[in-house]
Amino acid sequence: MASWLTLIFGIMGVINRAHGSVYMIGAYLAWSLAQHLGSFWLAIPAGLALSVALGFVLEWLFIKRLYQRDHLYQVLLTYGLILIFEELRSILWGDDVHGVAVPALLAGSIPLTDTLSYPVYRLWISAVCVALAVGLYLLIQRTRLGMMIRAGAANREMTQSLGINIGWLYRWVFALGVAMAAFAGMIAAPVSSVFPGMGNQVLIVCFVVVVIGGIGSVKGALVAALLIGLADTFGKVVELEIAGIRVLPELAGMSIYLLMAAVLLWRPEGIFGRRLA
Amino acid sequence: MARTSALIEARGLHAHYGASHVLHGVDLVLGAGETIGLMGRNGMGKTTLLRSMLGLLTPSDGQVRIRGADMTGAAPHRVARAGIAFVPEGRGIFPNLSVRENLVMAARAGVRGQRDWTLARVLETFPRLAERLAHGGQQLSGGEQQMLTIGRALMTNPDVLILDEATEGLAPLVAQDIWRILRRVRDTGIGAIVVDKNFSAVSSVADRIVVMVKGRVEYDGAARSLHDDAALRHRLLAV
């Protein structure tokens, strides 16, 4: 999800704060579609199709007007979208917390020791995320379409003058970005439950990932996501005392922000960001 | 039917940048396979004329036609797909793509389905690029970057190349190299509009010279006559 956020930012120059809301919408879609269609597995493709359509409409109605504008406009507009999505969610689905059942196929656990086990569903999520990350990397780095997308990020006008319809290309990139955010929400629904405001939490972490990895760098986003996952997890389990004061796990909630601060001190442009002039 | 031979033409073109009126009714006609040298001092409207013809700027009045079809204010990618390739001032390579990617991303069959220019042929024309295929665009010298933009434009199999200050800021030997290549490209039947300040180099490739002064065409004729008329040349170009 962070990688698509960084992609949209880096390529299209648009800060999309509504990404977290789309994540939430995805989770609600998974919940309500799974009820209507009777299956989590049917809910996912249906939800994906709906979110691609949503992305198309959003880009066409709002986002395409923002490419040449100052980032402040983008922050304001996408903040407005957050409020609209929250209201829509409230009207459509209410304000209750919901749970989505883990699909039966992945409901088991793998026993690790006598007392520890790991749910199969979480493994499946990891596998799906790795597959998507690899797919995204290949798409951007190895295909002609990816070259065009990167060329558009570097010089929009020149890319057009080579016969490439940038408006159309970006609409697809944005729609896919929206679909990926919604997809993240859908597959997270069975593990995190579905609740109002769930997107905001994720959005903040996403921005941290983007800043650490370097704005506009897909590779950076992937590495940063791993780093943050490690920092967050170890921050909660490692015990660390400095000068007699217990630092960890007491400050675990801050660990990812401390990591961000450290990276920014070391490389202000992020690990894989372009050097600032 | 009289105009069917014109590949791209501007008729009575006016253009503004904000409040300033840059083009004052410009006519420019390029026939198939023809090469025009577009000259004039700085700020006379050459780049504005090119940008208006390429769809990068919407003219305030007048028409742009490609093969007789009205393309005034058409999106730049439609102009490109009509066979018009642009080599901009300042080179416009993609620094985040390798040399190979810069070339491959632009590859396309021409308007008549022609695929004369392939990666192999472009690399044969620009051997320097062949040695640097895996390099990033930003690692190239100025001359190599210019060759890359020309090579990339050729990958689209165009009917017309539009070059804005292609040799600006290049060492004389490198510039000579570029002119030699442009003559070779012209001899394959690709037309061109070449903007440059070097009169003798431009006249070595151009069939016709067009000189712009203050947003108007003040001369449109053979390179030879302008070459022979020193007074006129001095008045128009200060050379």
DSSP string, A181-236: HHHHHHHHHHHH-B-TTHHHHHHHHHHHHHHHH-TT-HHHHHHHHHHHHHHHHHHH
More confident residue, A75 or A56: A56
For the ranges A36-40, A163-167, A266-270, B188-192, the lowest mean pLDDT is seen at: A266-270
What whole-number distance in Å separates Cα of residue A271 and Cα of residue A223?
9
What whole-number distance in Å separates Cα of residue A150 and Cα of residue A142?
11
CB–CB of A154 and B96 under 8 A?
Answer: yes
pLDDT over 60 at A2, yes or no: no
CB–CB of A163 and B106 under 8 A?
Answer: yes
What whole-number distance in Å separates Cα of residue A35 and Cα of residue A188?
16
More confident residue, B218 or B18: B218
What whole-number distance in Å separates Cα of residue A58 and Cα of residue A54?
6
**How high is the pLDDT of residue A236?**
72
**How high is the pLDDT of residue A261?**
86
- Which residue from A minimizes the CA distance to B110? A163
The chain A residues in contact with chain B (CB within 8 A) are 144, 147-148, 150-151, 153-155, 157-167
pLDDT tens by residue, B48-101: 999 999 999 999 999 999 999 999 989 999 999 999 999 998 778 999 899 999
Q: Which of B79, B97, B107 sits opposite A150 (nearest CB)?
A: B97
Chain A residues in contact with B156 by the CB 8 A cut-off are: 162-163
Band of residue A227 on the pLDDT scale cut at 50, 70, 90: confident
Band of residue B124 on the pLDDT scale cut at 50, 70, 90: very high
Closest to A131 (Cα-Cα) out of A3, A217, A261, A264: A3
Whether B80 and chain A come into contact, CB under 8 Å, resolves to yes
Band of residue A75 on the pLDDT scale cut at 50, 70, 90: confident
Whether B73 and chain A come into contact, CB under 8 Å, resolves to no
**How high is the pLDDT of residue A145?**
92
pLDDT tens by residue, B29-50: 999 989 999 999 888 899 999 9
Q: Which of A144, A151, A163 sits opposite B77 (nearest CB)?
A: A163
What whole-number distance in Å separates Cα of residue B107 and Cα of residue A109?
51
**How high is the pLDDT of residue B206?**
93
Band of residue A82 on the pLDDT scale cut at 50, 70, 90: confident
* ipTM metric: 0.87
> Percentage of chain A with pLDDT > 90?
9
DSSP type of residue B98: B
Once rounded to an integer, what is the mean pLDDT over residues A81-102? Answer: 85
Once rounded to an integer, what is the mean pLDDT over residues A224-249? Answer: 73
CB–CB of B75 and A164 under 8 A?
Answer: no
Q: Of the segments A77-81, B1-5, B98-102, which one has the largest average pLDDT value? A: B98-102
pLDDT tens by residue, A140-152: 889 999 999 889 8
- Which residue from B minimizes the CA distance to A216? B96
pLDDT over 60 at A212, yes or no: yes
List the structure tokens of B229: 């008329």
Angle (CA) A149 A155 A157, round 5° = 105
pLDDT over 80 at B1, yes or no: no
3-state secondary structure A51-114: HHHHHHHHHHHCHHHCCCCCHHHHHHHHHHHHHHHHHHHHHHHCCCCECCCCCHHHCCEEECCC
pTM score, whole prediction: 0.81
List the structure tokens of A198: 């769930």
CB–CB of B152 and A162 under 8 A?
Answer: yes
Chain B residues in contact with A160 by the CB 8 A cut-off are: 75-77, 80
3-state secondary structure of A242: strand
Chain B residues in contact with A164 by the CB 8 A cut-off are: 77, 80
**How high is the pLDDT of residue A6?**
56
Q: Which of A144, A164, A165 sits opposite B104 (nearest CB)?
A: A144
**How high is the pLDDT of residue B3?**
44
Which ranges of B71-118 does DSSP label H, i.e. alpha helix?
76-81, 99-104
**How high is the pLDDT of residue B175?**
92
**How high is the pLDDT of residue A4?**
53
List the structure tokens of A144: 């002609």
Band of residue A11 on the pLDDT scale cut at 50, 70, 90: low
What whole-number distance in Å separates Cα of residue A159 and Cα of residue A153?
9
Band of residue B125 on the pLDDT scale cut at 50, 70, 90: very high
Residues near A194 by beta carbon (within 8 Å), at least 6 away in sequence: A27, A28, A30, A31, A97, A98, A99, A100
**How high is the pLDDT of residue A12?**
54
What whole-number distance in Å separates Cα of residue A22 and Cα of residue B59?
41
CB–CB of B101 and A147 under 8 A?
Answer: yes
Once rounded to an integer, what is the mean pLDDT over residues B166-189? Answer: 91
Once rounded to an integer, what is the mean pLDDT over residues B184-191? Answer: 93
Q: Of the segments A66-70, A142-146, A227-231, which one has the largest average pLDDT value? A: A142-146
pLDDT over 80 at A5, yes or no: no
Work out the minimum CA distance from A220 to partner chain B, whole angstroms: 15
Q: Could you tell me if A15 and A74 are in contact, meaning their C-beta atoms sit under 8 angstroms apart?
A: yes
